[in-house]
Structure 1
Amino acid sequence: MKLHQLQALVSSAETGSIRAAARALNLSQAAVTKALRELESAQQLPLFVRTASGLNFTEYGKVLVTHARLVLKQLERAQTELDELRGQHRGRLCVGVTPWVALTFLPEVVLAFRERMPDIQLELFESLMAVAQPLLRDGSMDFAIGQLHPTQASPEFACQPLLDYQTAVLVRQGHPCQDARSIHDLLEQNWTLNYAPDGHDALMHELFWRHHAQVAEQRIVRAQSLAILQMLVERADMCTWGPALLSSAPFFLGRLVALDLKEPFEPRQLSIVTRRNGSLSQAAQCFADCLLQVIRRHARSAKKPDRALFETLRVLV
């Protein structure tokens, strides 16, 4: 397999057609087609099928695309590290950020990072772990700032803990069940939750099953973004579960209520999540250092909003 063949494969997968891949790579369509055909011939496997709507990749093709992305990402990282050794801080950094961090610490972190590494192209994802996991797997994302449940901490991921945070059932201010004191009082309510594809049972156990409670699956809407989750909580009277600090974060202050239920919930851990055996680039480490500095500064603050925030947070580093 040759580099230009892998580039043609990945670009075709990302753009959906050979024509678009050729534009993205600044090559002719004939050159991209030749590279793909040579790759198929070398592997003696069908990698894709051309259709009227574009390219459909076979199972063989999908597997190879995943590995090709990792190869290209590693080469990009190698070039970035060589540039850093030359004193040239260039390149691209892609970070997934869990929504509550985006609503609290992120603006200060980005400003600090831009000051230290102004030439790095920064790309940020609002990254619930369901979104981050596939991007971490294929190398598209350098690391995620989020929470990985212990059952999902498989050999493919590594976690560097940053802080613990308390969790709670959350409803809108004025919800009919705002005064509920048990999870059993909420089983006939509709819920909106977020979890990774392999995280359903772990979440159900934490929220319901270990408290001998059952909620009908049809009452649960799986939300893949904070905006959707927020709208369903505030305008469709759904219950959700997440960081207790959301009820005191400036963006949600006076809009969300953390219920004081008798059932305890285990604190979750905010971590830097990476692919196992992967190393953080200098830019990635710089971003992580900026995050730690901002968190520690707020933890030491005597300001009322910071004190309220850290009633439910505990810094681990």
Structure 2
Amino acid sequence: MKLHQLQALVASADSGSIRGAARQLGLSQAAVTRALRELEQEQELPLLIRTPAGLGFTPYGKTLLAHARLVLNQLEQANMEMAGLRGLAEDQVKAAITPWLMLTVLPPAVVAFRKKMPKVKLELFESLMANAQSQLREGTMDFAITPLPALMAPQEFHCEPLLDYETAVMVRHGHPLSKSTSIHQLLEQDWVLNYTPENYDDLVRQLFSRHGAQLDPHRIIHAHSLGMSQAMVESADMCTWCPALLAGLPQLAGRLTPLALQESCDPVRLNIVTRRNSILSAAAHALIDALVRQLRLQTRSARQEDRRIFERVRILI
């Protein structure tokens, strides 16, 4: 496979047509067509589906497209890092941080990082794994700090354990069922949860089935941000399952009530997740170091507010 062939493949997918790919790459349509035809011939597999509505991809084409994006993104990262070393370009880091770290550790860590590397461009995302997963796969994100479904770790991603934290079922302050003592009392309620297709079954097992409970799947609302989940809990009387320390955050004080249920869930492991075999830049390593350093400071803090938040957290790094 040649670089120009992979570029033609990705540009065709992004633009949806040969004409659009040619315009994006600054080539003739004939050159793009030739590159794609050569790629199909070399692989001895049909990669594209040509229709009057535009280009589509066969299953073989979709597989190769995913790898092509990774290759091109890795090359772009290498070019940017080398240009940065020559003083010709700014380095940048794209990272996704799980919401409760975003509300606690992230702000002071970013301040410390920017003092050390003021010219690095930062792009930060709220990391629920369902959101970060696709960007990590494509190589458009450097790392994510997030729980990682066990089935995904060996195949696609490298994960370094960061910490374990306890979880709790929660409702809004003053909810009619805030005195519930069993998950079985909550099966007629709507739930707002975050999950990926890979960890949905494990989530249901953790919360319900291993305790002999069964929740109608239609009662589960799939939310992709902390703000959305919080709105559903507070304004729609839904139940949620989340890090137990959220109830101690100043931003959420008096708004969430953890339920004292007789059924318990296993601690959740938070990982530093990267795409397997990817190479992190010096700036990405520096941001991770700043986050870990701040996390250690706050977990060892004597302040009552920090103790209330981090008492159910166990650092692993």
Q: Could you tell me whether the CA contact under 8 Å between 1:47 and 1:59 is conserved in 2?
A: yes
Aligned mates of 2:219, 2:43 — CA distance in 1: 47
Q: CA deviation at 1:35?
A: 3.8
Aligned match of 2:272: 272
Tell me the TM-score normalised to structure 1 length.
0.88
- Does the Cα contact within 8 Å between 1:190 and 1:219 map onto a contact in 2? yes
Provide the rounded CA distance (Å) in 2 between the counterparts of 1:113 and 1:253.
29
SS of residue matched to 1:132: helix
- Report the Cα distance in structure 1 between the residues aligned to 2:266 and 2:22, rounded to whole angstroms: 51
Confirm or deny: 8 A CA contact 2:98 2:128 kept in the other structure: yes
Mind listing any 5+ residue stretches in structure 2 that lack a counterpart? Answer: none
Match of 2:255 in 1: 255
Tell me how far 1:51 sits from its aligned partner: 4.9
Aligned equivalents of 1:110, 1:8: Cα separation in 2: 38
In structure 2, do the counterparts of structure 1 residues 103 and 51 end up closer, same or farther at CA, with 3 Å as the change threshold? farther
Counterpart for residue 239 of structure 1: 239
2:153 maps to which residue? Answer: 153
Residue in structure 2 matched with residue 205 of structure 1 by the alignment:
205
Query: Does the aligned pair in 1 maintain the 2:247–2:257 contact within 8 Å?
Result: yes
Q: What does residue 176 of structure 1 align with?
A: 176
SS of the residue corresponding to residue 288 of structure 1 reads helix
**1:306 lines up with 2:297 in the alignment:** no
8 Å contact 2:81–2:91 — kept in the other structure?
A: no
Q: Percent identity?
A: 57
Distance 2:20 2:104 in 1: 39
Map Cα deviations across residues 206-236 of structure 1 (whole Å, 9 max, x no partner): 1112222211212112223323322222222
Aligned residue pairs, count: 317
Pairwise CA distance, 1:75: 1.7
Deviation of the 1:124 alpha carbon: 2.1
Correspondence for 1:75: 75
SS at match of 1:197: coil
Q: What letter corresponds to residue 257 of structure 1 in structure 2?
A: T
Q: 1:109 to 1:53 in 2, by over 3 A?
A: farther
Q: Which moved more, 1:31-40 or 1:258-267?
A: 31-40
Partner of 1:125: 125
Cα gap change, 1:233 to 1:22, in 2 (>3 Å): farther
Distance in 2, matches of 1:281 and 1:295, equals 21
Aligned to 2:2: 2
Amino acid at match of 1:224: H
Deviations 1:164-199, CA, capped at 9 Å, x for gaps: 211000111121111111111111111111111111
Note the residue ranges of structure 1 that are not aligned, 5 or more in a row: none
Residue 30 of structure 1: how far off its partner (Å): 5.8
Structure 1 range deviating more: 145-154 or 11-20: 11-20
Rounded Cα–Cα distance in structure 2 between residues aligned with 1:296 and 1:149: 25
In 2, Cα distance between equivalents of 1:176 and 1:29: 65
TM-score by length of 2: 0.88
Q: Partner residue of 1:12?
A: 12
